[in-house]
């Protein structure tokens, strides 16, 4: 079994969180460097938004101030976003840091209930343990006066230095909701390639292949899922790209690509997702302290929403189908499957990061992977 250098992926994400590296630089000249101050994740703190609040009688709910917080955190340093007893989660640290900004009425209410004095952070999308958030968006509101964005930034930055960093804090309209206001989310999955990878010399474009064993790419496959998957395979990155591109511009049900949710249900959130962008390409992670670059496959996915573990299942399934020589529409056909065992178990969380969340219309030219 080939050993995947996942630690190098973890280190790469950690360096981005610490602002030592920039994600767009990974993709070279073919990528436009996105200025997030005026595009996808722009804060809804323009004058028109704030004026709509200021013009109202600021009493009751209107008297509160809402802040939009953009965070960067290293997935390998936390037990996921969602607060859970006894676990080191991003939400628990952020909300603990916001406690000093809670208004007096809520503070007294929490004290009366014997609860810790914490703020409430609403997030654009919860990430699992091991998944990095590069520009996660959350909001916090308070009736306390004279709370400044810089105060919030400093409080959170002191909570877990080197692992959690505030990118920006801005005052926004009270109608802003990190999740419901979002028009799209962008994820990136970095899959490290092994020394078993090789260039097909018979191919005109020098197509890169990588060898793997099926059960190597999954973190939680059951025995019966893997019992017939012991042999080694080789997959083409350009084939993975062709498989993924078939998803673009389509509204499809991804229930077969979700995990930890009911495969068939009559209530709850819908399973349809509109994928704007789905591409894969080979890049190199920057040299380590030992001077070694790492070949990786990057998968970039942009959609209006994502189901639980959907990105990781899509990555693993596209690799499996590429190795099997499936038709380019193989992922589309799997949408009609009746059992989730038709899709692959999720790839490890180490390679996944939430890149950003968009509150304006999606612009394809701002994506990282622009190859056809």
Domain edges within the chain = 47-172, 184-361
- How confident is the model over 325-356, as pLDDT tens digits? 999 999 999 998 888 889 999 999 999 999 99
Residue 175: which pLDDT band, with cuts at 50, 70 and 90? very high
- In terms of phi and psi (left: phi > 0; alpha: psi -120 to 50; beta: otherwise), the region of 80 is left
Cα of first residue to Cα of last residue in the chain, in angstroms, is: 32
Length of the chain: 372
Known catalytic membership, residue 57:
no
Question: What does the pLDDT average to over 78-96?
Answer: 96
Q: Which ranges constitute the DSSP H helices of 189-236?
A: 223-226
Distance CA 125, CA 304 (A): 12
The residue ranges of DSSP E strands in the chain, in sequence order, are 65-73, 122-123, 132-142, 164-172, 184-192, 198-199, 208-213, 232-236, 250-253, 272-285, 294-303, 352-358
pLDDT tops 70 at residue 302: yes
- How confident is the model over 115-171, as pLDDT tens digits? 999 999 999 999 999 999 999 999 999 999 999 999 999 999 999 999 999 999 999
72 forms beta bridges with 165
- How confident is the model over 235-250, as pLDDT tens digits? 999 999 999 999 999 9
Question: pLDDT at position 287, please?
Answer: 85
Fold held by 47-172: Alpha-Beta Plaits (3.30.70)
Task: Find all residues with CB under 8 Å of 359, minimum gap 6, and list them.
Answer: 40, 41, 42, 44, 181, 182, 183
In the predicted model, what is the mean pLDDT of the chain? 83
Helix 149-157 to helix 90-97 angle, to the nearest 10 degrees? Answer: 130
Are 47-172 and 184-361 equal in CATH topology? yes
More confidently predicted of 94 and 229 = 94
The answer as to CATH 3.20.20.70 being correct for domain 184-361 is: no
Question: What does the pLDDT average to over 284-303?
Answer: 89
Alpha-carbon dihedral sign for residues 117, 122, 127, 128? positive
pLDDT tops 60 at residue 23: yes
Question: pLDDT at position 62, please?
Answer: 63
Q: Which ranges constitute the DSSP H helices of 309-359?
A: 310-323, 330-334
Distance CA 310, CA 351 (A): 14
Of the residues 103, 128, 151, 328, only one is catalytic, namely 128
Q: Tell me which residue of 316, 312, 313, 332 sits closest to 324, measured CA to CA.
A: 316
pLDDT tops 80 at residue 73: yes
Residue 228: which pLDDT band, with cuts at 50, 70 and 90? very low
How open is the CA angle 129-218-200, to the nearest 5 degrees?
125
Question: What does the pLDDT average to over 80-102?
Answer: 96
- DSSP letters, 219-265, are SS--HHHHTT--SEEEEEHHHHHHHHHTTTTEEEE-GGG--SS-SS-
């Amino acid at each position: 079994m080939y050993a995947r250098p996942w630690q190098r992926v973890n280190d790469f994400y950690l360096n981005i969180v610490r602002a030592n590296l920039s994600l767009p630089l990974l993709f070279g000249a073919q990528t436009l460097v996105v200025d997030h101050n005026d595009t996808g994740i722009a804060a809804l703190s323009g004058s028109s938004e704030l004026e709509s609040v200021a013009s109202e009688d600021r009493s009751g709910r209107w008297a509160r101030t809402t802040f939009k917080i953009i965070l960067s955190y290293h997935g390998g340093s936390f037990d996921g976003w969602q607060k859970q007893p006894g676990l080191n989660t991003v939400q628990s640290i952020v909300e603990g840091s916001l406690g000093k900004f809670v208004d007096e009425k809520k503070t007294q209410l929490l004290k009366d209930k014997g609860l810790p004095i914490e703020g409430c952070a609403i997030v654009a999308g919860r990430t699992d343990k091991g998944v990095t958030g590069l520009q996660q968006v959350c909001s916090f509101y308070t009736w306390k006066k004279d709370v400044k964005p810089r105060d919030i930034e400093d409080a959170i930055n002191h909570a877990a230095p080197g692992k959690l960093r505030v990118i920006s804090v801005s005052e926004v309209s009270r109608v802003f909701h990190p999740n419901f206001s979002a028009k799209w989310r962008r994820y990136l999955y970095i899959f490290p390639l092994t020394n078993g990878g090789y260039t097909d010399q018979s191919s005109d474009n020098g197509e890169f292949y990588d060898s793997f064993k099926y059960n190597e790419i999954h973190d939680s496959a059951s025995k019966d899922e893997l019992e017939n998957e012991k042999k080694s395979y080789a997959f083409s990155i350009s084939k993975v790209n062709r498989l993924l591109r078939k998803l673009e511009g389509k509204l499809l049900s991804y229930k077969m690509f979700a995990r930890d949710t009911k495969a068939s249900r009559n209530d709850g959130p819908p399973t349809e997702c509109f994928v704007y962008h789905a591409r894969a390409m080979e890049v190199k992670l920057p040299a380590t302290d030992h001077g070694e670059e790492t070949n990786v496959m990057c998968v970039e996915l942009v959609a209006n929403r994502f189901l639980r573990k959907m990105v990781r299942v899509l990555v693993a399934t596209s690799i499996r189908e590429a190795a099997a020589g499936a038709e380019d529409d193989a992922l589309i056909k799997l949408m009609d499957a009746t059992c989730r065992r038709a899709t692959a178990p999720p790839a490890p969380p180490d390679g996944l990061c939430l890149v950003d969340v968009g509150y304006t219309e999606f612009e394809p030219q701002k994506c990282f992977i622009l190859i056809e």
